[in-house]
Amino acid sequence: MSKKRFIAGVVCPKCGTLDSIMAAEDTEQQVLLRECVECGFHDRMSTVVNTPKEIQTRVSPDVDTTAKQEAVQVIKILE
Ligand SMILES: [Zn+2]
């Protein structure tokens, strides 16, 4: 289980109690779980930061060597 800790200065959106919200971060599901110890209110927030993906423009320089070998064999047969 992930560690729960109180979030200081946060008011419960349901019962309005100050400093009654506990938070636990679920690193596997990448969510932040919040729970009110007074009224049982709970919700979850995604901790995933949406960053724009880098477009990969790098072209592979790999040469298909098998194709060359096949070409050589064809030439030998023709001789
Ligand atoms: Zn509450």
- Domain spans of the chain? 1-48
Who's near 10: CB < 8 A, 6+ residues apart? 18, 19, 21
Which H or E run includes 65? helix 65-78
Tell me, yes or no, if the pTM score tops 0.85.
no
Residues in the chain: 79
Calculate how far, in angstroms, residue 28's C-alpha sits from the geometric centre of ligand 1. Answer: 26
From 43, 33, 40, select the one nearest 4 (Cα to Cα).
Answer: 33
First to last CA, the chain: 73
Distance 24 CA to ligand 1 centre (A): 16
Summarised one tens digit per residue, pLDDT across range 12-64 is 999 999 999 999 999 899 999 999 999 999 999 998 877 777 666 767 666 66
Question: Sign of torsion, CA 32 43 11 5?
Answer: negative
CA of 68 to the centre of ligand 1 (A): 71
Q: Ligand 1 center to residue 1 CA distance, Å?
A: 22
CATH for 1-48 is 2.20.25.190
CA of 2 to the centre of ligand 1 (A): 21
Q: Identify the DSSP state of 11.
A: B
Residue 79 Cα to ligand 1 midpoint, Å, equals 88
